[in-house]
Amino acid sequence: MDSREVADLAREWSAALVDCDGVPTSVPDDIRQLTTRWIVELEAALSAESFDPSPACRVGVEMVRSNLTVPAMMTPTAAVLAGLLERSRRPDRAQRFGALLGELGRGYTTELLDVHARSQEAAEQRFRVVFDNAAVAIALYDNYGITLEANSTTARMVGMNQEDLPGVSALDLMHPDDRDKLRHTVVGLLKRGCGTAHFEGRFCRPDGSVSWGAWTMTLVHDTGGGDVRVLAVGEDITERRAMQQKLWWEARHDPLTGLPNRHRLLEQLEAIVAAARPADHIGLCFLDLDAFKLINDRYGHHAGDSVLAEVGRRLDATLTSPTVTPARIGGDEFVALLAPPCDDATAHAAAETMLATLRDPVPVGPGDLLSISASIGAVVTPVAGANAEKLLDDADVGLYRAKAAGRGTWVLHRTDNGPGAGQ
């Protein structure tokens, strides 16, 4: 960030803090100087090659020492951190953001506890207000993972009443598939005896819904050095995870048919190759519609898309074995991946099934039915150590042979024992 951007962000932050009614209007310039320095320190920590989140802890401490303890101030403070995150281009910026947020919360909370030690009644009241009303989720656990305290934001995240959370094990709130991950994370943190740990996992709410949370956990030692607590600062990332999943799916599936696309097919092939044993074979049935261009020319591309969508639907509805993956890899070309173990008979059955799905006419308009056919080039080949792209190329060779043999035919090509044909 250049000096102008820093000044603009500091002005917005300091103005937001003043608007929270916790800062005397006579000292806005002092607050702006503080926020300017804090922004520089936080941005430097987020961008440094060697990551050190401790500046955020110092910012949290200084906020308390500057009497910036009105609960509403956490919202613009979190917004500033989020703004720095948006400007960052580092691949690990999300983890760094979580660590900085956790350190800021740790410094903020630790300093409040120190104030409590110096002036117990006044500090306890301020801490309670901040803890209960923070915009981020804050929870405190003992070293066995039992909830000691949790604010209302945490209660909303896990779908429980705030008063019911103390005494509840954190593991009991987690999705069963994520409990070992949480246990491993916390045990590692306790063994280190200091620092922070980042965790993302699913919560099972009492109403049966599942939500995602991202937490930064920090060890907090009491003033006597005895008991250890785990301070968790987090946010609900359910919508973000849903968007990531949506983007992942769209990148790997054909938008017209919903079938896996070439990218996804290659990923699955590569996974099969990586796990294959020496004797394992796979099958690939490469289907191409006969004279598809004539359909587009006669009925239009909208009708052509309807035909492709119907072919995809039929293949998906018919090739239901968990070892068979139908995909559309472009144009009017479809592929069925037959996972190991696969032999000639398996490929034969798959090719015949694929051709059979096309025997019934396809509707292309009101009252119009169109008979279609396809050619299939099938290959059965050893898979261990193979190249995924080469496997598709081999199936394509079989397709050209099928095209030469006439409509509605399939040709089987074995890369180890020679070709065969079917009809």
420 pLDDT above the threshold of 80: no
Highest CATH level, class, for 252-422 = alpha beta
Segments making up each domain of the chain, as ranges? 1-135, 137-250, 252-422
**Domain 137-250: CATH architecture, name and number where available:** 2-Layer Sandwich (3.30)
324 pLDDT above the threshold of 60: yes
**Side-chain-facing half-sphere of 318: CA atoms under 13 Å:** 18
User: Which residues make Cβ contacts (< 8 Å) with residue 21, sequence separation at least 6?
Assistant: 70
Nearest CA to 153 among 134, 140, 173? 134
Give the span between the Cα atoms of 180 and 174, in whole angstroms. 10
Residue 421's pLDDT band, with cuts at 50, 70 and 90, is: very low
Residue 290's pLDDT band, with cuts at 50, 70 and 90, is: confident
> 376-401 pLDDT, tens per residue?
888 888 999 888 888 887 767 666 66
Give the span between the Cα atoms of 35 and 17, in whole angstroms. 10
Q: Hey, CA dihedral for 400, 404, 407, 413, is it positive or negative?
A: negative
Residue 416's pLDDT band, with cuts at 50, 70 and 90, is: low
> Which of these is catalytic: 30, 332, 343, 394?
332
413 pLDDT above the threshold of 90: no
> 13-57 pLDDT, tens per residue?
888 888 876 565 544 577 888 889 998 999 898 889 888 989 999
Q: What is the pLDDT of residue 21?
A: 66
Q: What is the pLDDT of residue 8?
A: 85
Mean pLDDT of 235-251: 91
Residue 418's pLDDT band, with cuts at 50, 70 and 90, is: very low
Residue 281's pLDDT band, with cuts at 50, 70 and 90, is: very high
Give the span between the Cα atoms of 150 and 284, in whole angstroms. 55
Q: What is the pLDDT of residue 260?
A: 96
Q: What is the pLDDT of residue 369?
A: 86
Reading phi first (left if > 0) and then psi (alpha if -120 to 50, else beta), residue 418 is in left
Q: Which residue has the higher pLDDT, 8 or 314?
A: 314
DSSP assigned state of 174: B
Q: What is the pLDDT of residue 408?
A: 66
> 107-148 pLDDT, tens per residue?
988 887 787 677 666 556 666 677 777 778 889 999 889 999
Mean pLDDT of 256-272: 94
Give the span between the Cα atoms of 333 and 311, in whole angstroms. 10
Active site residue 21: no
Q: What is the mean pLDDT of the chain?
A: 85
Give the span between the Cα atoms of 133 and 148, in whole angstroms. 17
Q: Hey, CA dihedral for 358, 363, 367, 371, is it positive or negative?
A: negative
Residue 83's pLDDT band, with cuts at 50, 70 and 90, is: confident
Q: Which residue has the higher pLDDT, 25 or 241?
A: 241
Mean pLDDT of 68-89: 82
